[in-house]
């Protein structure tokens, strides 16, 4: 007697799995191409028109989609329905608070800016006043945008523990703006996921996703400004470390002193702080011929970056921040770095996104969070 093989787990996709995959294709088309007819979506995604219609029905039930009116056409036949994202469904919010500036933006799910406000923060801003200022910024942003906040991100100068999402205040931190619990503030206005991170990590994400390092999976980004920091990408992922302190370039030591202590000596400290005086540093590099302090400053930076490159073996180094934008600094830096590199084919690139990079990175992550949260709870 011939018997069949024992029944085991089916390898065929479950109906709900197929439906979710179909709906993802449908939504991805709308996010990329904007308002579209069922026929256009079917042609672009390879779905049949009945399958596309079913996806539209399921997504519309969530409130994410709407049909929009189309002008009458002078031809016979049925006027096609045009599908689009419903603006009332919600938005994402991103906040930056570092280096004397606070800025908040809201975006739709395609990334279009809906609200943008920035404020200058003085050195005399107290923690209590900073908290009130940031609360007013985000509350006004959500109110003016006029839809629910689906996900929120914040960028700050200090490291952020990736598990607790609390700021890690290191000794002699140059960024008092990053000491408060910004996550708790965002959760007051956003009932979706909230994520905080260091500004250099967000900038690194932005440059790797849409900037000068787009598509590069192994890179170092170094920020040179009032503070010094680095972001690391390995195997295509920003590395944060156990406590969120990966890439804290300022604290690397040589000759018994940290890098930031050396730079404060060779450059110039902002009055009453442990931040570098950027204007004074730029004046130092602009002097011809370069004074000894300028060369010592550059050599100290190049030495520690070469050490990081020897450990991580990156394809590219991205230089960002106001000091790195100085042609005089860049010339001296390249001369100092090349003899120290283990691999001479390291690409040294200038940031394409400039001072907006942290906010851009946080905004990209907020949209990722919103979509991930949507699909995680979809039809559950």
**Residue-number span of the structural domain to which 336 is assigned:** 214-352
Residue 170 lies in a domain: yes
Question: How far is Cα 198 from Cα 135, in angstroms, rounded to an integer?
Answer: 19
pLDDT at 72: 56
**Closest to 301 in 3D by CA, of 315, 286, 320, 273:** 320
pLDDT at 6: 45
pLDDT at 81: 86
Look at residues 71, 87, 103 and tell me which one is the last residue of a structural domain: 87
pLDDT at 272: 62
Same domain, 282 and 242: yes
Residue 8 lies in a domain: no
Residue 48 lies in a domain: yes
Same domain, 183 and 294: no
- In whole angstroms, how far apart are CA 325 and each of 61, 331, 353? 50, 11, 12
Quick one: tokens of 338?
A: 């090349």
**Closest to 169 in 3D by CA, of 65, 243, 93:** 243
- Output the CA torsion sign for 171, 246, 162, 323: positive
Question: How far is Cα 199 from Cα 205, in angstroms, rounded to an integer?
Answer: 10
What is the domain-level CATH number for residue 289? 3.30.420.40
B/e letters for 81-107, b = 16+ CB within 10 Å, e = fewer, are ebbebbeebbbbbbbbbbbbebbbbbb
User: Alpha helices, DSSP H only, in the chain?
Assistant: 15-33, 38-45, 49-61, 127-145, 182-189, 199-210, 259-266, 278-286, 292-312, 327-337, 357-376
Same domain, 187 and 304: no
Same domain, 77 and 117: no
pLDDT at 173: 62
Same domain, 198 and 236: no
Quick one: tokens of 239?
A: 């590395």
Same domain, 276 and 190: no
**Closest to 185 in 3D by CA, of 227, 156, 161:** 156
Residue 286 lies in a domain: yes
- pLDDT tens for the chain, residues 1 to 380: 333 444 444 454 446 788 899 999 999 999 999 999 999 999 999 999 999 999 999 999 999 999 987 655 555 656 678 999 999 999 999 999 876 789 999 999 999 999 999 999 877 778 888 889 999 999 999 999 999 999 999 998 889 999 999 888 877 665 555 566 889 999 999 999 999 999 999 999 999 999 999 999 999 999 999 889 999 999 999 999 999 999 999 999 998 999 999 998 888 877 666 788 999 999 999 888 889 999 999 999 999 999 999 999 999 999 999 999 999 999 999 999 999 999 889 999 999 999 999 999 999 999 999 999 999 999 76
Residue 361 lies in a domain: yes
Name 52's Cβ contacts closer than 8 Å, sequence gap at least 6. Answer: 26, 38, 41, 42, 45
Residue 10 lies in a domain: no
What is the domain-level CATH number for residue 57? 1.10.10.10
Q: Among all chains, which residue has been given the structure tokens 């010094």?
A: 228
Same domain, 346 and 276: yes
Same domain, 37 and 68: yes
Same domain, 62 and 117: no
- Apex 81 CA angle, 76 and 84, nearest 5: 150
Burial grade of 165 (CB within 10 A; 0-12, 13-18, 19 or more):
middle
Look at residues 36, 54, 87 and tell me which one is the last residue of a structural domain: 87
Question: How far is Cα 1 from Cα 11, in angstroms, rounded to an integer?
Answer: 27
Same domain, 251 and 301: yes
pLDDT at 1: 36
Q: Among all chains, which residue has been given the structure tokens 């302090």?
A: 293
- In whole angstroms, how far apart are CA 137 and each of 46, 132, 195? 44, 9, 17
Check: CB of residue 236 under 8 Å from CB of residue 209: no
Question: How far is Cα 32 from Cα 20, in angstroms, rounded to an integer?
Answer: 18
Question: How far is Cα 174 from Cα 370, in angstroms, rounded to an integer?
Answer: 32
Look at residues 87, 102, 123 and tell me which one is the last residue of a structural domain: 87
Domain count of the fold of the chain: 3
- The sheet that has 194-198: what strands, in order across it? 113-120, 101-107, 91-98, 149-156, 194-198
Same domain, 159 and 99: yes
Residue 7 lies in a domain: no
Same domain, 111 and 193: yes
Its pTM stands at: 0.89
Residue 208 lies in a domain: no
């Amino acid at each position: 007697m011939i018997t069949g093989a024992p029944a085991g787990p089916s390898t065929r996709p479950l109906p709900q799995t197929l439906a979710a995959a179909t709906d993802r294709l449908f939504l991805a088309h709308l996010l990329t191409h904007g308002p579209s007819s069922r026929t256009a979506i079917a042609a672009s995604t390879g779905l049949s028109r009945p399958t596309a219609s079913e996806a539209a029905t399921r997504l519309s039930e969530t409130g994410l989609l709407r049909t929009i009116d189309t002008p009458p056409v002078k031809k016979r036949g049925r006027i096609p329905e045009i599908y689009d994202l419903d603006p009332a469904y919600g938005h994402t919010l991103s906040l930056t608070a570092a280096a004397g500036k606070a800025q908040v933006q809201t975006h739709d799910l395609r990334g279009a800016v809906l609200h943008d406000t920035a404020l200058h923060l003085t050195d005399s801003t107290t923690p209590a006043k900073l908290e009130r200022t940031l609360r007013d910024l985000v509350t006004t942003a959500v109110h003016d945008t006029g839809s629910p906040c689906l996900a929120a991100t914040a960028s700050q100068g200090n490291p952020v523990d990736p598990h607790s999402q609390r700021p890690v205040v290191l000794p002699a931190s140059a960024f008092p703006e990053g000491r408060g619990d910004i996550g708790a503030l965002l959760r007051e206005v956003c009932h979706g996921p909230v994520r905080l991170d260091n500004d250099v990590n967000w900038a690194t994400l932005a440059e790797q996703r849409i900037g000068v390092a787009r598509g590069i999976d192994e890179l170092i980004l170094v920020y040179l400004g009032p503070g010094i920091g680095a972001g690391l990408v390995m195997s295509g992922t920003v590395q944060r470390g156990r406590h969120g302190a990966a890439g804290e370039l300022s604290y690397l030591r040589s000759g018994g002193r940290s890098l930031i202590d050396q730079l404060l000596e060779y450059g110039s400290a902002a009055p009453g702080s442990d931040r570098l005086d950027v204007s004074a540093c730029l004046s130092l590099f602009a002097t011809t011929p370069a004074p000894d302090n300028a060369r010592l400053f550059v050599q100290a930076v190049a030495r520690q970056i070469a050490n990081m490159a020897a450990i991580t073996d990156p394809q590219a180094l991205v230089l960002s921040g106001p000091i790195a934008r100085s042609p005089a600094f860049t010339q001296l830096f390249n001369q100092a770095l090349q003899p120290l590199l283990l691999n001479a084919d390291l690409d040294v690139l200038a940031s394409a996104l400039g001072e907006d990079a942290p906010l851009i990175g946080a905004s990209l992550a907020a949209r990722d969070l919103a979509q991930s949260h949507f699909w995680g709870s979809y039809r559950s």
